[in-house]
A and B are shown apart, each in its own frame.
Chain A
Amino acid sequence: MSEASATAAVQVTAAVQVTGVDKVFTAKRKPSVTALDSIDLTVAPGEFVSLIGPSGCGKSTLLRLIADLDTPSAGTLTVFGKTARQARIDQEYGIAFQQSGLLPWRTVAANIELPLELHGVNAAGRRKRSAELLALVGLGDFAESYPDQLSGGMQQRVAIARALAESPRLLLMDEPFGALDEMTRERMQTELVRITGETGAAVVFVTHSIPEAVFLSNRVVVMSPRPGRIRDILGITLPGTADRDEHLREDEAFFENVSRVRELLHGEAPVGIKGVENR
C-alpha cells in the first residue's frame, strides 16, 4: 500500500514521464516510417537530460511529443503528472529551437515579453521580468535593439531568455547551439549550465555533439535510428552541473565520459575515425 503510493508520488513529481511511446508517421502512398519505437524515459525535476544520436533517430520527434507539437501513436506521456496537452496549455515548459525564431519587428525586450504578453501579464510586470532575464543572459544593453542587429549567438541567448520568461520548471531545447560556431557554442554551454543552476529547471536537450551532451548533462540518452530506440542511458560521472566550468573541458574525467558516450553511439567496438562526430 505504502509502496504503491510512493510510486505514485514519484510519478507525480517526475518532470517528464514517457512510457512505451511509439510514433509512426504515415503518408498517403508512401511506406509508414517508425520514428520512435517503445520509448521509456523519466526525467526528474531539476535534472539535465540530453538526447543524442545520429540523424533520424527520433530525438527531435521525442522532444516534439513532450512539447505537444505532435502526438504519440501509442503509449503515454506526462509532464509533471499532466497530459502533454494540458502541460502545454498550463505553460509548464519553455522551448528553444535551433533557429532563434525571434519576431523581427519586435525589439529584444518585446520578444522576451511575448509569452507574458500573450498570457495577460501587465506592462510593468513584463518590463521587470524582461530586464531580469536580459541581465541573466548578459544582454542588458540590448533591450531596445532589433534581432537583425544581433549576432547569431546573441539571438540564441534572447531565445533562451524568452523560453525562461514564465519561469517554467521544464526547458525543452532542440539543438539550440547547432547553428553557432564552436567558440560561441562553448561559451553558451557554460552560460546554460549557470542559468539552469540558477533557475533549477529540468532540461531535455537534443544535440548531436558528444562533448556538449557530456558537459551539460546529468544523464545522456543515447539513441539509435530506424526505428528510433533508446540504446542506453548513461549517468555522467562529473561534478554536479552547478560546479561545471571551462576547466572541466580539460579534465580527464570529462574525456572518459566523452569516450563512453562515443562507444555507445558507435556500438561496443568503435571503428574508423570518430573525430568527425565530435561536434
Chain B
Amino acid sequence: MSGRSPSSTRDRRPAARRSGTTATRVAFGAGGVLLVVVVWELYKAIGPATGVVIGDLTVLPRTTDLAMPHVWDMVGRLFEQTGNGRNAQPVWLAVTQAALFTLGVAAVGWVVGVVVGLLLAVLMQRFRTAESAVLPWIVLSQTVPLIAIAPLVRRWGAQLEFGDFTWESWMSVAIIASYLAFFPVSIGALRGLNSPDAIHVELFRSYGAGWWRTLLTLRLPASVPYLLPALRLAAANAVIGTVVAEVSIGLRGGIGRMIIEFAQQASGDPAKTWAPIFGAIAVGLVAAGVIALLGVLLRRFRRGEVPA
C-alpha cells in the first residue's frame, strides 16, 4: 500500500516570510544605513590621516576631510547653493532635476530592452535553431565594453534621418541602457517560457491549442516568477548604463555628467561630490521600487513560487 500522506501536496505552500512584520523589516533597513554612517564616522575619527598603507598599497583611504567628508557635511551641502553664479540653485534641486532626467532616459532604455529581450526569448523558444544561433551572440554582446559602443551608437544615430525626426543624444544613451537591460530579460524569459511541465504542454496539445494560444495562456504566465528577477536586474543595468553612457556620450542634464562636473570641484568642495552619488542611489531605489510594485501586481502568477 502507498504510504504517502494525503497532505503531501498541501504542505507545498510558500514558506512563511523569514523576516517578520513590515515594521521590523523597515527597522532593519534603517539600521543598515545607520551602521554604514557609524562605521564611516568611526574610521574617520580613529583612522590615520594618511590612510592605512601596506607596502605601496593603500588598503584603507585617508581620513582627511578632502577624502572622507563628514556625513553631515555631505547632507548639509545638499541644502546649500550650487555656486555663486547667476544660475545658482540649491544642490538638492539640481540633483533632483538631474536624477529625474536620468530616470526618464533609463526608463526608456528599460522598456526598449525588455521588449527586445522578450521578443528574442519568444523567438528562441519557438525555434530551436534560433536558440543555438542567437544565444551565443546575446552572451557575447555583453562582453563588449560600453565605452567602445557609445561613440558607435551616437554616430549611427546621427546618420538616421526620416521626415522631421532627428536623432538626439539622449536616444543614444537610452539605446546603450537598453543594450545592458535586454540581456537578463532574454535569458530569464527564455527559462521562464520553457518552465511549464511536460504535462501542461501536453494538456494544451490535447486541447488542440496552437503555439500562440499556448504562449499567451500557459508560457507567459508561467514565466512571471523567472521574469521578475530579470526585470529587476534589467532596471539596475539600465540605470548604470544610462549614467555611464551620459558620461561617454557627453549628454548634459543627467546624473552622469553631474558626477563628473562636481568631482572636478572636489578639491575645493569635497562634500559636493557626494550629492549626485546620492542622486544615483535614489534613481536606483526608485527603479527597484517600481519593479517591486510590478511584482505585487503580478502576485497571482507567483503562487507556489519557490524562493530562490
Contacts and interface: CB of A to CB of B under 8 A. Distances in A.
Interface of A: 67-69, 88-89, 91, 93, 95, 97, 99, 101, 103-105, 114-115, 117-119, 146-153, 155, 179-185, 278-279
A146 B303 contact: yes
B203 A101 contact: yes
A151 B203 contact: no
Given A99-B199, A105-B301, A151-B9, 18 more contacts: A67-B206, A93-B206, A99-B197, A101-B197, A101-B203, A103-B221, A105-B224, A118-B209, A147-B303, A147-B304, A148-B14, A152-B7, A152-B8, A180-B4, A181-B6, A185-B2, A278-B1, A279-B1
Contacts of A67: 206
A147 B200 CA distance: 14
A148 B208 contact: no
B207 interface: yes
B91 to A, nearest CB: 47
Interface residues of B, number: 34
B128 interface: no
B206 A155 contact: no
26 contacts: A68-B206, A69-B206, A88-B206, A91-B208, A95-B203, A97-B202, A101-B197, A101-B200, A103-B218, A105-B221, A105-B224, A105-B300, A114-B207, A117-B217, A118-B209, A147-B303, A148-B13, A151-B7, A151-B9, A152-B7, A152-B8, A179-B4, A180-B2, A180-B6, A182-B2, A279-B1
Given A69-B202, A97-B199, A148-B12, A88 B208 contact: yes
A18 to B, nearest CB: 18
A150 B10 contact: yes
Contact of A181 (B2, B199, B207, B217): B2
A84 to B, nearest CB: 11
B205 interface: yes
B84 interface: no
Nearest to A95: B206
Contacts of A181: 2, 4-6
B240 to A, nearest CB: 32
Nearest to B14: A148
Interface in B214-245: 217-218, 221-222, 224
Given A104-B303, A118-B213, A153-B6, A89 B208 contact: yes
Nearest to A151: B10
A182 B199 contact: no
A222 to B, nearest CB: 21
Given A152-B6, A179-B4, A181-B6, A91 B304 contact: no
A119 B217 CA distance: 12
